[in-house]
Amino acid sequence: MSFINTFMNGEQGLFKPVNLTPMQKLTLRFVVVGLFYYLFAVVEGMLMRIHLAAPGALMDDKQFFAIMTAHPLVGIFGSSYSIVFGAFLFLVPFLMKKPLWSIKLANWTLWLVAIGTFTFWFAGFLSHYSPLYTLYWPLPADFTQFSVVGGIFFVLGIALVMVGTLFFVLNIFKTIAYTPEGSEKQIKGVLASALGFRRLKNADGTNVVSTPVAAIARGTVDTMLNAGIITFTGVLILVYMVAALLGHDLKHSAVDALLYKNWFWWGLDLIADGLVLIFVAGTWYLLASLITGKKIFMEKWARAALLVEMIVSWFVWSHHLMSDQAQPAFLKIFSGEMLTAFELITQGLAFFITLATLWQARPLQMSNPLKFLLGGLTGFALAVPAGIMQADLGLNRILHNTQWIVGPHVHVAILVGLTMTLYSAIYFLFPILTNGAKLYSQKLANFHFWAHLLGGIGMGAFMGMAGLKGMLRRSVYFNGEFNLYMILAALAGSLLLFAFLAFFFNIVMSLGLKGVIGIFTPSEKKTKDLLPS
Amino acid sequence: MIDTTTVLAGQTIAYTLYVIVILLLMGWFGYQITRKGKSEGIKPALFYSFVGFLVVLGVSLHIVTHETIPWKPIDLNRDKIAHDKLFEISIKDHQYKLPADTLKIDQNDMVLFKVTSEDLTYGFGLFRQDNSMLFQMQVIPGHMNDILWKFDKPQVYTIRSTEYSGWKGSNMILKDVVVVK
């Protein structure tokens, strides 16, 4: 088959979009949107890396900080949320053997997240609205630095994403709880069981709600709470913006900056220390059991750890305020240090249980899902202890807001831990969602794995070294103080870009250009079934 | 008093060793699970031992740092510890306002910095001439932000904002304005 033919029709012409069910198309659309925004985030990351190594070469500081504001939001909402939402909207009904509660609502989620992400990105790009995702009060309402109109569109973009997120939450909970038309009535308390408040067992002693579905349900609680916090925060900022548009200057001091910071971090940690860790642990369990075909090792503990993680995630926010001297010492020690240390335990358990599940099933073939799963496990094994170290009052004094935080902790957790776990799921679901399409090149998949793993760890390591030498995050150094580390981090970062391009090319060649376009055309099959019968 | 550079050097060594161990472990694990051979079950005792190890590690880290990093107990008890010198600093419109052009400190002085912001959230950090950090804190508007620090080495420090306060904050640097003799 010629290159052009493969490019147009996919590897061996196996992928036929016309045979896809609406659910398969929906899930693939989520994945495509998520990957598109991942590319956005990687390119933005590379532009920032160049600015840090050579300030002013490509852009000025205003543009740099506007990119820095949009970058994590594009990565989290546009990319991770899209892929995770798409995967879970497929997996929950798949694992519970019933249709999704509402495909229509899931479509709304997809387009609200996609359009919302573009809206806030574009608003930031044009207006340079850049209070960062931290939004420390009263910076988001400082209109001596930022455009009011740009800010309004930025907040509206985020609001669209949050509405889409709440639709996802509703869809997941309803799918777990409802009885499909024509089916035998589902027993009561399934949702409570998924959330960990009831124990429901089948006659054979197995759980009515599988552990991965329980993880998704518990992570979705944090997703819902976080969406509420972000929406409230957006409305508060919007009040100041609308007032400014109407010529009124509302008093910033009416909002207490420390209280706001506590509120904001309480909400944001529901993502960073809540849903991410819970969803990831659940995905590890699911992938490990699917890859091995075996039961999860110590499943009772795995479920208990998921519940503990959800509850712990509501109380750990103060580790972000350890350098805030007005923050009560009790909160710094109890919430910031002691409860945060629980995350070492819960995530450590998930790590051990997943490895043990794999070990008990050996020998295993080193498939793409397995190698990326091991990569994801490695990422969190490196990033979680780095986070626990900075959540210490003594160490935080010399680590807070340095490149250490954002390198070995944040980027290794997201790029190596989370993203490689998501890639594992994508490689696993690929033949299921495409009705048996064949991957174009295993060599490219191998390159994708190694370049991503080494690029992610390498970038995090060089950023961390700079941080330990005193380099701050969110700061530009104009005299080349940390150039060596920034150049090395940029080189490692470029490996991430090449890894993604190899993956993207591999997927396009596997599905063909016609196939990729076909994903976005309406499905001809009128069925709520997940897969073709 | 142990210097922050000593603590960071210790952290660098400890974390680097940890990273090497994890990478070797995962490499070994990836190789082993693909090898032919009879699969053996994992004893629950190993799992419970691991849980115990994590609990001990999580708790002991903070106890160890409390006992070995001197500025941690100083910070927690700063309202009860007498200071030799006090500097009151305010920030407005991305500008630090110092009580003097140079903040002069005698070696072994216990110094209290009280920093207030009249508008945005800023940071307050002291950096050595090689750009490494001595300490930092956040400066929240509407609240008193204070830090107590013992200066036991003659050194010259630069003040730099350690928190993003918009693009105007890029140059919040006062070079060599803290002098310890």
Q: How far apart are CA A485 and CA A446, in angstroms?
A: 27
Do the Cβ atoms of A421 and A452 come closer than 8 Å? no
AA identity, residue A421 = T
pLDDT of the residue at A1:
65
B150's enclosing H/E stretch is strand B145-151
Chain B residues touching A393 at Cβ < 8 A: 62, 65-66, 72, 75-76
Angle between helix A340-359 and B4-32 (nearest 10)? 20
Q: Mean of the pLDDT values across residues B150-175?
A: 95
- Range 360-379 of A in CB contact (< 8 A) with B: 360-366, 371, 374, 377-378
Q: B150 pLDDT exceeds 90?
A: yes
Taking Cα atoms as reference points, which of A528, A473, A519 lies closest to residue A34? A519
DSSP-assigned beta bridge partners for residue B83: none
Chain A residues touching B143 at Cβ < 8 A: 257-258, 325-326
Do the Cβ atoms of A129 and A151 come closer than 8 Å? yes
What is the 3-class SS of A181-238, one letter each residue? CCCCCCCCCHHHHHHCCCCCECCCCCECCCHHHHHHHHHHHHHHHHHHHHHHHHHHHH
CA angle B98, B102, B103 (to 5 degrees): 75
Give chain A's residues under pLDDT 70. Answer: 1
User: Given the DSSP bridges, would you call strands B173-180 and B155-160 parallel, antiparallel or unpaired?
Assistant: antiparallel
Do the Cβ atoms of A55 and A477 come closer than 8 Å? yes
pLDDT confidence tier of residue B144, bands split at 50, 70 and 90: very high
Chain B residues touching A360 at Cβ < 8 A: 39-42
Q: How far apart are CA A145 and CA B168, in angstroms?
A: 8
In chain B the first and final C-alpha atoms are separated, in Å, by 16
The minimum CA-CA distance between B13 and chain A, rounded to whole Å, is 11
Bond before A138 cis per omega within 30 degrees: yes
pLDDT of the residue at B49:
96
ipTM: 0.95
Q: Is A337 on the interface with B (CB under 8 A)?
A: yes
> A120-135: string of b/e by CB count within 10 Å (b at 16+)?
bbebbeebbbbbbebb
* Structure letter (DSSP) for residue B155: E
A167's enclosing H/E stretch is helix A148-177
Q: Mean of the pLDDT values across residues B157-166?
A: 97
Q: How far apart are CA A169 and CA A177, in angstroms?
A: 12
pLDDT of the residue at A275:
86
Domains of chain A: 21-255 (1.20.210.10)
Both structure tokens of A301: 């503990």
> How are strands ordered across the β-sheet holding B173-180?
B103-105, B173-180, B155-160, B122-127, B133-139
Whether A130 sits inside 8 A of B166 (CB atoms) is yes
Mean pLDDT of chain B: 95
**Model confidence, pTM:** 0.95
Do the Cβ atoms of A422 and A80 come closer than 8 Å? yes
Whether B47 sits inside 8 A of A342 (CB atoms) is no
Q: Is A240 on the interface with B (CB under 8 A)?
A: no
Could you tell me where in chain B the CATH 2.60.40.420 domains are found? 82-180
Do the Cβ atoms of A92 and A210 come closer than 8 Å? no
Q: How far apart are CA A375 and CA A379, in angstroms?
A: 6
Q: How far apart are CA A271 and CA A220, in angstroms?
A: 10
Do the Cβ atoms of A158 and A202 come closer than 8 Å? no
- Range 110-139 of A in CB contact (< 8 A) with B: 128, 130-132, 134, 136-139
Both structure tokens of A280: 């990831």
CATH architecture, range B82-180: Sandwich (2.60)
Do the Cβ atoms of B106 and B179 come closer than 8 Å? no
With 0-12 CB in 10 A as exposed, 13-18 as middle and 19+ as buried, what is A148?
Answer: middle
In chain B, the residue whose alpha carbon lies closest to the alpha carbon of A386 is B15
Which residues contact residue A100 at a Cβ distance below 8 angstroms, ignoring those fewer than 6 apart?
Answer: A23, A89, A90, A92, A93, A106, A171, A175, A528, A530
pLDDT of the residue at B2:
85
Chain B residues touching A261 at Cβ < 8 A: 121, 140
Q: How far apart are CA A40 and CA A52, in angstroms?
A: 18
Q: How far apart are CA A388 and CA A344, in angstroms?
A: 7
Sequence-ordered alpha helix ranges (H) in A54-102: 61-73, 82-96
Q: B126 pLDDT exceeds 70?
A: yes
Chain A residues touching B8 at Cβ < 8 A: 398, 468
